[in-house]
């Protein structure tokens, strides 16, 4: 059996079920692999200042946040990669001109284009966001990630044409398919995982990852054992080595069991 050393877990749709709870089977599996000496990272598009309750519940202290823009290992910062302020300004302008909303994530806050917008309130409620503020220019050089809200299917191109090194990834959450995460080619979950493996002197074969959205594509491609959740975005499966069961049907547990890591 491969000597696995590290496990990366996406949160929404992978670890968290639609009702925002974590399956007992997932908790059991995570506890078992930790006992085997496997280090567990939460690897999410979410801002890290909003996931402390999840980390505490699972006793996890290593993270990739903002779709790869910021990482922490055992409580210590590894790297932080803000977006270009010029890109942020362009995206704010495009959103304003096309009646889109957006949230800009800093290290400390979620900065919204319009906190009173009904669709923004829906987004805040769906992700249980608490540290929210309104947009102002003084945060422009602190942005670690962006989620665009209220886009139709053909509108991601409005943003992608501004910079060919950036693409949009549809949020894989029911009711929020009009939302898109901004993913940079040189800053994403896959690049973050690669940096962490190099830091810890681990080969890719020692790494396992689970994800459900297209923002997990680079991560699942990079690791030795990549699992797409059964509820994953249809386009994601081609990038994963395995397809496991749904987040509501012990997907993490069953994937780890197939590797012989849980009973």
- Two structure tokens written together for 140: 């422009």
The residue extents of the domains of the chain are 6-81+187-258, 85-184
- Indicate the pTM of the whole model: 0.92
DSSP state of 223: S
Q: For strands 225-228 and 242-243, give the pairing.
A: parallel
Q: What is the CATH number of domain 6-81+187-258?
A: 3.40.50.1000
Query: What pLDDT is stored for residue 118 in this prediction?
Result: 96
94, 100 in Cβ contact below 8 A? Answer: yes
Query: What pLDDT is stored for residue 97 in this prediction?
Result: 97
Query: What pLDDT is stored for residue 80 in this prediction?
Result: 94
Spatial distance between the Cα atoms of 125 and 65, rounded to a whole number of angstroms: 20
CA dihedral 243, 6, 142, 132 (to 10 degrees): 60
Query: What pLDDT is stored for residue 1 in this prediction?
Result: 55
pLDDT, averaged per 10 consecutive residues of the chain (263 residues), comes to 91 95 97 97 96 96 97 94 96 96 97 96 94 94 97 95 92 89 95 97 98 97 98 97 98 98 95
Spatial distance between the Cα atoms of 247 and 253, rounded to a whole number of angstroms: 10
Fold topology of 85-184: 3.30.1240
């Amino acid at each position: 059996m491969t000597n696995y050393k590290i496990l990366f877990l996406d949160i929404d749709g992978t670890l968290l079920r639609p009702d925002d709870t974590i399956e007992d089977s997932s908790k059991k599996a995570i506890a078992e692999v930790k006992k085997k000496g496997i280090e567990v990272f939460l690897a999410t598009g979410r801002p890290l200042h909003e996931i402390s309750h999840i980390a505490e519940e699972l006793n996890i202290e290593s993270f990739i946040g903002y779709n790869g823009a910021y990482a922490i290992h055992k409580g210590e910062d590894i790297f932080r990669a803000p977006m270009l302020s010029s890109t942020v300004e362009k995206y704010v302008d495009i959103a304003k001109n096309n009646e889109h909303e957006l949230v800009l994530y800093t290290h400390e806050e979620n900065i919204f284009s319009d906190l009173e917008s009904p669709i923004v309130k829906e987004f805040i409620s769906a992700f249980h966001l608490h540290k929210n503020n309104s947009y102002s220019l003084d945060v422009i050089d602190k942005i670690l990630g962006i989620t665009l809200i209220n886009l139709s299917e053909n509108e991601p191109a409005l943003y992608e044409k501004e910079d060919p090194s950036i693409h949009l990834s549809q949020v894989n959450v029911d009711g929020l398919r009009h939302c898109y995460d901004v993913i940079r080619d040189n800053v994403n979950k896959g690049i973050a995982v690669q940096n962490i493996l190099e830091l810890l002197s681990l080969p890719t074969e020692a790494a396992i990852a689970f994800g459900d959205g297209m923002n997990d594509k680079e991560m699942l491609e990079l690791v030795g054992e990549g699992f797409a959740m059964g509820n994953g975005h249809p386009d994601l499966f081609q990038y994963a080595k395995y397809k496991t069961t749904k987040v509501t049907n012990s997907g993490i547990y069953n994937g780890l069991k197939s590797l012989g890591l849980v009973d």
